[in-house]
Amino acid sequence: MIRIDDRLAAAASFVRLDRRICDVGTDHALLPCFLCEQGARDIIASDVNEMPLESARANIEKYGFSDRIRLIRSDGLAEIPPRDDVIIAGMGGELIARIVGGCTFVTSDTHFILQPMTRAEHLRRFLYGNGYKISGEKGAYSAGKAYTVMLVTYTGEKRGISDEFAYFGKCADPRYIMKVNGQLEKLGRSDPSLLRIIRKETP
């Protein structure tokens, strides 16, 4: 059994295994290998850098999934053919927003599974301002840190969002809420107006 951490497991739980999948910024390709173990048959594992692709290749061969996982070197989605489910995990929110914004094959059936390490509020503002919506968010806790994983679809309706939604989104995980509260407290020391509107009670 391939072991992945809670953060990647949360991302995997949103993926439709019978669809055409792409893991952008795959690094070690552990997530694509795990998805194959769960039954996925058509995955592209991509990365912009050659070194991660080498480690991805080694893992794909080690686990025997070379017939189901194709490796493509690509900056974001630039070289990726149409896919149904696109995972972008372990990158900053601004980079994830740029990669989603460069997608040329999006339809109302495309699922983006997004896991920002930083600037989640920027990513949520970008998504809603560009016709995407967050269908669900799930908290994850790995190596002592709280994360959120978003399931995102395209509606075409562009709208603004509140500061509170930008910072907390739809994630109800108490550990994630505590983390964001902590970030806001730090921000509030330099800009107290942020604390006026946002600080969530943990459920």
* Site residues, ligand SAM (CB under 6 A): 8, 24-27, 47-49, 52, 75-76, 89-91, 95
Q: Which amino acid is at 7?
A: R
Whose Cβ is closer to ligand SAM: residue 83's or residue 181's? 83
C-alpha distances (whole Å) from 52 to each of 47, 89, 152 are 7, 14, 26
- Hunting for tokens 């943990």 — which residue is that? 202
CB of 168 to ligand SAM, least distance (A): 22
In the complex, what is the shortest distance from the CB of residue 11 to ligand SAM, in angstroms, rounded to a whole number? 7
The smaller minimum CB distance to ligand SAM, of residues 126 and 198, is found at 126
Task: Please identify, using beta-carbon distances, which residue of 95 and 194 lies nearer to ligand SAM.
Answer: 95
Place of tokens 């395209």: 154
Nearer to ligand SAM among residue 116 and residue 169 (C-beta)? 116
Tell me how many degrees the CA angle 140-118-106 measures, rounded to the nearest 5: 85
**CB-CB contact of 173 with 165 (8 Å):** no
Cβ 55 to ligand SAM, closest distance in Å?
Answer: 9
Q: β-pairing, 132-142 with 145-154? A: antiparallel
CB of 56 to ligand SAM, least distance (A): 9
